[in-house]
């Protein structure tokens, strides 16, 4: 019994250890699931940002093809100069050749103004592109960090699973020991019971033998028509019960 109690205590200890490991495993699985969800969201964000960046690159390419003149002119100054020249044509008396030259100059300035506006738009688009690029890099770093954490957690999960599997084997072995010990105890009890029964049988045979001897003496008394004692009568009653 002492050995059986020891096995039960060992089993209880192993089951408690397993409970702790299973709880840790559940926690690790939850962490993995949470980080994988974050990775999926980041992947979608990065994908969206890349799509926006690609669209911007196309716009930048289109705008670059339109910028043929200098992009460093100030649009407001160009507009002011155009207005002055147009006012001059309207208010001053000048030769046809001079007016023609001024119209040509105004057209050049307008083209330059358009180019300057496109250049500014291009500059804004490039700034937006840089911001998107920075965002993509930031999210990519976050993705790498999360991915690294997920890989570490997966390794930790595998270690926990290995420990649980080892504990399961130990638990199975202890259960077998308990089963074997119970079987031994049962066999010993049966053996003792048989031994006890055998002892009773021996006693019964001895009693029966002694009773037979006494019965023989009583029967001889009856044949001789001798007076029977109380003990003789009891012997006859006992013989009747045992069906001699």
What pLDDT score does 227 carry? 83
pTM higher than 0.75? no
Q: Is the pLDDT of residue 72 over 60?
A: no
Comparing 12 with 120, which gets the higher pLDDT?
12
What pLDDT score does 131 carry? 87
What pLDDT score does 70 carry? 47
pLDDT tens profile 37-47: 999 999 998 88
Dihedral sign, CA of 153, 159, 164, 165? positive
Angstrom distance (rounded) from CA 97 to CA 83: 20
Comparing 62 with 212, which gets the higher pLDDT?
212
What pLDDT score does 244 carry? 54
Lowest-confidence range among 57-71, 112-126, 215-229? Answer: 57-71
In DSSP notation, 94-151 reads --HHHHHHHHHHHHHHHHHHHHHHHHHHHHHHHHHHHHHHHHHHHHHHHHHHHHHHHH
Comparing 66 with 14, which gets the higher pLDDT?
14
CATH of 2-198, one of 3.40.190, 1.10.287, 1.10.357, 1.10.10: 1.10.287
What pLDDT score does 69 carry? 46
Name the CA radius of gyration of the chain, rounded.
55
* Contacts (Cβ under 8 Å, ≥6 apart) of 35: 146, 149, 150, 153
Comparing 184 with 33, which gets the higher pLDDT?
33
Average pLDDT over residues 220-237: 81
* Cβ–Cβ under 8 Å, residues 12 and 171: no
What pLDDT score does 68 carry? 52
User: In this prediction, what percent of the chain has a pLDDT beyond 90?
Assistant: 27
Average pLDDT over residues 115-120: 71
Instruction: pLDDT band for 203, please (50, 70, 90 cuts).
Output: confident
What pLDDT score does 121 carry? 74
What pLDDT score does 184 carry? 82
Instruction: Tell me the HSE value of 216 on the side-chain side, using a 13 A CA sphere.
Output: 6
Q: Which of 141, 149, 143, 74 is nearest to 113 (CA)?
A: 74
The residue extents of the domains of the chain are 2-198
What pLDDT score does 52 carry? 86
What pLDDT score does 117 carry? 72
* Cβ–Cβ under 8 Å, residues 181 and 7: yes
pLDDT tens profile 80-95: 888 888 898 888 888 8
Angstrom distance (rounded) from CA 112 to CA 183: 104
Q: Is 225 left (phi over 0), alpha (psi -120 to 50) or beta?
A: left
């Amino acid at each position: 019994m002492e050995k059986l109690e020891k096995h039960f205590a060992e089993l209880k200890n192993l089951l408690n250890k397993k409970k702790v490991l299973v709880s840790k495993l559940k926690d690790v699985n939850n962490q993995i699931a949470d980080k994988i969800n974050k990775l999926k969201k980041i992947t979608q964000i990065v994908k969206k940002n890349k799509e926006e960046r690609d669209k911007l690159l196309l716009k930048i390419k289109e705008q670059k093809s339109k910028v043929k003149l200098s992009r460093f002119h100030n649009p407001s100054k160009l507009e002011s100069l155009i207005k002055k020249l147009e006012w001059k044509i309207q208010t001053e008396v000048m030769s046809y050749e001079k007016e023609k030259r001024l119209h040509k100059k105004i057209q050049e300035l307008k083209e330059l103004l358009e180019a300057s506006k496109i250049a500014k738009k291009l500059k804004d688009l490039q700034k937006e592109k840089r911001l998107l690029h920075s965002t993509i890099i930031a999210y990519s770093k976050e993705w790498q960090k999360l991915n690294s954490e997920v890989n570490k957690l997966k390794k930790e999960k595998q270690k926990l699973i290995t420990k649980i599997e080892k504990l399961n084997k130990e638990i199975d072995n202890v259960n077998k020991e308990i089963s074997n010990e119970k079987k031994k105890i049962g066999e010993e009890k049966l053996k003792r019971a048989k031994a006890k029964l055998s002892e009773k049988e021996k006693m019964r045979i001895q009693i029966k033998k002694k009773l037979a001897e006494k019965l023989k003496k009583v029967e001889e008394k009856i044949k001789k028509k001798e007076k029977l004692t109380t003990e003789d009568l009891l012997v006859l009653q006992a013989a009747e019960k045992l069906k001699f």
